[in-house]
Amino acid sequence: MEFSNAALRYLVAVYELSDGGSAVRSVDIARMMEVSPASVVHMMGVLSQGGFVRKRRYGQVQLTREGIRTANRLYTKAALLEAFFLQELGVDDQIARRDAVSCLFALSEESIEHICCRALQKEAREPIILQASGA
């Protein structure tokens, strides 16, 4: 099943909020993404049908194993893009985070891989400092 970029953004948001697997409240997803609770309910339905999340009682969702695997892959790429923006381009922390997630869904896979490789090459010379999200 092919997922929209919007659905994958929600998946990454759930991953960040869940700290890798804990249940997350729909209201917290809505707040983080600055969307309506109805939008969250809709996207959680889409992600649930795809096997990425399980809906729980009281508006909570939890990532499945496949959800964790997919979200982790996306989150790792976003973190490397963010590090590149911070360290190579000197972009502000908050802008770097937002732009990293946007680029993850706007750039080609080839461009993302090249940027991530550049960020990792930089790591060999000096450590990359990954910023914890303010979730």
With respect to residue 64, please indicate whether it lies within any of the assigned structural domains.
yes
Q: Domain check: are 15 and 52 in the same one?
A: yes
Q: Domain check: are 52 and 96 in the same one?
A: no
Name the residue with tokens 């937002």: 98
Instruction: Supply the pLDDT for residue 49.
Output: 94
Q: Domain check: are 81 and 110 in the same one?
A: yes
Q: Please determine, for residue 130, whether its predicted confidence score (pLDDT) is greater than 70.
A: no
Instruction: Give residue-wise pLDDT tens across range 65-114.
Output: 999 999 999 999 999 999 889 888 888 988 998 899 889 888 888 988 88
Q: Domain check: are 12 and 59 in the same one?
A: yes
Q: How confident is the prediction for the chain on average, in pLDDT?
A: 86
Instruction: Give residue-wise pLDDT tens across range 16-73.
Output: 999 877 999 999 999 999 999 999 999 999 999 999 999 887 779 999 999 999 999 9
Q: Domain check: are 47 and 62 in the same one?
A: yes
- The runs of H, that is alpha helices, within 19-92 are 26-33, 37-49, 65-87
CATH of the domain at 18: 1.10.10.10
Q: What percent of the chain has pLDDT over 70?
A: 88
Q: Domain check: are 10 and 64 in the same one?
A: yes
Q: Domain check: are 59 and 92 in the same one?
A: no
Q: Domain check: are 11 and 61 in the same one?
A: yes
Q: Domain check: are 60 and 79 in the same one?
A: no
With respect to residue 15, please indicate whether it lies within any of the assigned structural domains.
yes
With respect to residue 46, please indicate whether it lies within any of the assigned structural domains.
yes
Residues 6+ apart with CB under 8 A from 11: 3, 47, 52, 53, 63, 67, 70, 71, 74
Instruction: Supply the pLDDT for residue 4.
Output: 86
Q: Please determine, for residue 135, whether its predicted confidence score (pLDDT) is greater than 50.
A: no
Tell me the backbone φ, ψ of residue 129, rounded to 5 degrees.
Answer: -105, 110
Angstrom distance (rounded) from CA 95 to CA 89: 11
Kindly list the strands in the beta sheet with 53-55, ordered across the sheet, starting from the edge strand earlier in the chain: 24-25, 60-63, 53-55
Q: Domain check: are 82 and 32 in the same one?
A: no
Tell me the backbone φ, ψ of residue 55, rounded to 5 degrees.
Answer: -80, 135
The domain containing residue 61 runs over which residues?
5-69
Q: Domain check: are 65 and 80 in the same one?
A: no
The number of distinct structural domains making up the chain is 2
